[in-house]
Amino acid sequence: MEQQDEGPQAITQIVIVDDDQFQLKLLSHQLSMVGYKNVIAFDDGQTALNHMVGLVLDTTIVILDLNMPNMDGLEFLQKLRDAKFTGALLLVSGEDERVLQSAETLASSYDLLVLGHLNKPVQQEQLQKYLKQLVAQREKLLVGEKQHIYSAERLKVAIESGELVNFYQPKVLLHSGELVGVEALVRWEHPEDGLILPDNFIDLAEENELIDKIAQQVLRNALVDSNIWKKSGINITVAVNISMYNLNTREFISYLENELLTSGISPNELILEVTESKLMKDYSLVLDMLTRLRLRRVNLSIDDFGTGHSSMAQLRDIPFNELKIDKGFVHSAYDNATLHGIFDGSIQLAKNLGIKTVAEGVENEADWSFLDGSGCDLAQGFFIGRPMRVLELSEWKTQWAERYAKIAV
Ligand code: C2E
Ligand code: MG
Ligand code: MG
C-alpha cells in the first residue's frame, strides 16, 4: 500500500476512545477542522478493539482517554500490546501531568509508539503538533531499522585494524562558558556502513570479551590527543567511559598507569566515567580498583546518574568526585515539574557530598538557560557542541566563544 509522506494522508484512520460523549464530538470536530476526516469515535474500549480488527493498523492513530468506566485506558494499552498494535497513540486525561507521564512510559515499555499526551480540555495546537510529529517519528524509526547487526568476529577485526576512532564532546563551565574538558566517545568508522555509534557495539563487545581492548584503545588515543591539544595551548581534562566490566581484572590498572607515564598526562587530567555493567562479576574488586585509582588522583565520575544503572548505593560506596546528571533529567526540565524536581534534588545531593556536577543533554537554548543559576557546575550537550574529531576542537572553541558572548548577555 502506498504511503504518502506528509500531512493527513499519512494517517488513514483516527480512532478516538473516550467515554465522554461531549469530548468525542469535540475531538472529532477539532480533527476535521485540520483536515482529518476519517475519524471514528467509540465510547467504550471493547467496541473500539472489535472495530480495529482488520484495519491497516500502522497508519492508524488511537486517541485514548485513560479514565473510562468499563475497560480503562491502561487495560486498553495492554490489549493493544497483545494485538501487536503498530500504529501511533495519543493519551488524553483530566488527571495530573504525572499520571499521564506514567501511562506514557508504560505504553512505551509495551513497545507502543506514543506521540505524547494531552490534558483535557484538549488544545487544538497541541493536537496538531503531535499529528505532525508522527511523520517525523516514522522516519526516525525507519532509520533505526536500517542499522546492521554486527558479529563479534567483525568487531574484533575492526578493533585490530584501527577502525575505532575517538570523537570528543566539550564540557564547559556554566558560569563562564569556559572549555574545561572533553568526553571521549568511541565511534566505529565502518568502511561500508559509515560512522557507527557505540550503542550498536558496546554490548556486543562486553558479551564477547572485547570491551577491554576497546577501553585500552580509547584511553590511549585520548591521552595522545590530550597532548595534541596541549601543544596548541588547550589545557583540558579528558574523560573516558569505562564499564565496570573493565574492572573485573587488575590488568586495567597497570595498563592505565603505564599509559599515563608514557603520555606524561597527569592523573588529575583524566576522568573515568563509570557505568554499571550487567556482566560485573566481583563488586569488591571493582571497589578496590576504583578506590586505588582515586588515591592516585584519577578523577571518577558517576555517569548517567538517576538511571537504573547508576544508583545511590554506588554513590555511597565509590569515591566519585563528579556526578553526571543523565540527559533524561536535563533536556526539557525547564518545562516539566517532575524532571525539574529530580534535577534540583541531584544537584543538592552532589553538593552535600562535595562533588562536582555535570548536566548532560543540553540540547537547546532553553535547556541552557534553565541551568543558569541552578547550581550545576558544568554543561555538555548538542547546544554547546556535538561530538567531534580531535582536530576540530580548536575551531569549535573559537566559534563557541563568539556564540557564548551572545547568549551570555
Ligand atoms: P554517555 O557516556 O552518557 O555519553 C553521552 C551520549 O549522549 C553520547 O552518545 C553523546 O553523543 C550523546 N549526547 C551528547 N549531547 C547530547 C544532547 O544534547 N542530546 C542528546 N540526546 N544526546 C546527547 P554516544 O556517543 O552515542 O554514546 C552513547 C553511550 O555509549 C555513552 O553514553 C557511553 O555510555 C557509551 N560509550 C561511548 N564511548 C564509549 C567507550 O569508549 N567505552 C564504553 N564502555 N562505552 C562508551
Ligand atoms: Mg559518559
Ligand atoms: Mg550519560
Structural domain that includes position 97: 7-145
Same domain, 28 and 156: no
Pocket-testing residue among 171, 195, 218, 241, ligand 1, by greatest number of atoms within 8 A of Cβ: 241
Same domain, 135 and 165: no
Average pLDDT (178-193) is 96
In whole angstroms, what separates CA 204 from the centre of its chain?
19
Residue with the nearest Cα to atom 19 of ligand 1? Answer: 361
Residue with the nearest Cα to atom 14 of ligand 1? Answer: 381
- Tell me how far apart the alpha carbons of residues 311 and 324 are, in angstroms, rounded to a whole number: 12
pLDDT-based confidence at residue 7 (cuts at 50, 70, 90): very low
Same domain, 91 and 191: no
The answer to whether position 132 is within a domain reads yes
Torsion of CA 85, 88, 94, 96, to 10 degrees: 100
Cell numbers 533536556: residue: 331
Residue with the nearest Cα to atom 22 of ligand 1? Answer: 361
In the numeric block, which cell numbers belong to residue 126? 497541541
- What is the CB-side half-sphere exposure of residue 82 using CA atoms within 13 A? 8
Cα–ligand 3 centroid distance for 358 (angstroms): 10
Same domain, 106 and 244: no
Type of residue numbered 167: F
Ligand 1 binding pocket includes 186 (Cβ within 6 Å): yes
Global model pTM greater than 0.85? no
Cα–ligand 2 centroid distance for 6 (angstroms): 37
Which of 145, 177, 211 represents a domain boundary (last residue)? 145
Ligand 1 binding pocket includes 277 (Cβ within 6 Å): no
The answer to whether position 115 is within a domain reads yes
Ligand 1 binding pocket includes 243 (Cβ within 6 Å): yes
Structural element, H or E, at residue 16: strand 13-17
Residue 399: pLDDT over 70: yes
The answer to whether position 2 is within a domain reads no
The ligand 1 atom at the shortest distance from the C-alpha of residue 304 is 3
Same domain, 238 and 362: yes
- Tell me how far apart the alpha carbons of residues 190 and 73 are, in angstroms, rounded to a whole number: 45
The answer to whether position 219 is within a domain reads yes
The answer to whether position 355 is within a domain reads yes
- Tell me how far apart the alpha carbons of residues 132 and 196 are, in angstroms, rounded to a whole number: 29
Same domain, 131 and 180: no
Through-space distance between the first and last CA atoms of the chain, rounded to whole angstroms: 54
- Tell me how far apart the alpha carbons of residues 170 and 183 are, in angstroms, rounded to a whole number: 7
Lowest mean pLDDT among 127-131, 236-240, 378-382: 127-131
Pocket-testing residue among 155, 171, 172, 185, ligand 1, by greatest number of atoms within 8 A of Cβ: 185
The answer to whether position 37 is within a domain reads yes
Average pLDDT (367-396) is 96
Cα–ligand 2 centroid distance for 239 (angstroms): 8
pLDDT value at position 140? 60
Same domain, 241 and 140: no
Same domain, 285 and 396: yes
The answer to whether position 397 is within a domain reads yes
Same domain, 127 and 178: no
Residue with the nearest Cα to atom 40 of ligand 1? Answer: 241
**CATH number, position 26:** 3.40.50.2300
Which bound ligand lies closest to the C-alpha atom of 272?
2
Residue with the nearest Cα to atom 37 of ligand 1? Answer: 185
Which of 125, 145, 165 represents a domain boundary (last residue)? 145
Average pLDDT (249-261) is 92
Same domain, 213 and 340: yes
> Tell me, what DSSP letter sits at residue 388?
B
Cα–ligand 3 centroid distance for 314 (angstroms): 16
Same domain, 165 and 126: no
Residue 273 has phi, psi (to 5 degrees) of: -90, 115
Torsion of CA 39, 44, 50, 52, to 10 degrees: 30
Number of domains composing the chain: 2
pLDDT-based confidence at residue 122 (cuts at 50, 70, 90): confident
The answer to whether position 1 is within a domain reads no
Which bound ligand lies closest to the C-alpha atom of 387?
1
- Please provide the average confidence, as pLDDT, over all residues in the chain: 89
pLDDT-based confidence at residue 38 (cuts at 50, 70, 90): confident
Ligand 1 binding pocket includes 118 (Cβ within 6 Å): no
Which of 103, 118, 145 represents a domain boundary (last residue)? 145
The ligand 1 atom at the shortest distance from the C-alpha of residue 206 is 44
The string of pLDDT tens digits covering residues 75-108 is: 999 999 998 888 889 999 888 888 888 999 899 8
Ligand 1 binding pocket includes 203 (Cβ within 6 Å): no
Cα–ligand 3 centroid distance for 360 (angstroms): 6
Same domain, 103 and 134: yes
Which bound ligand lies closest to the C-alpha atom of 239?
2
**CATH number, position 395:** 3.20.20.450
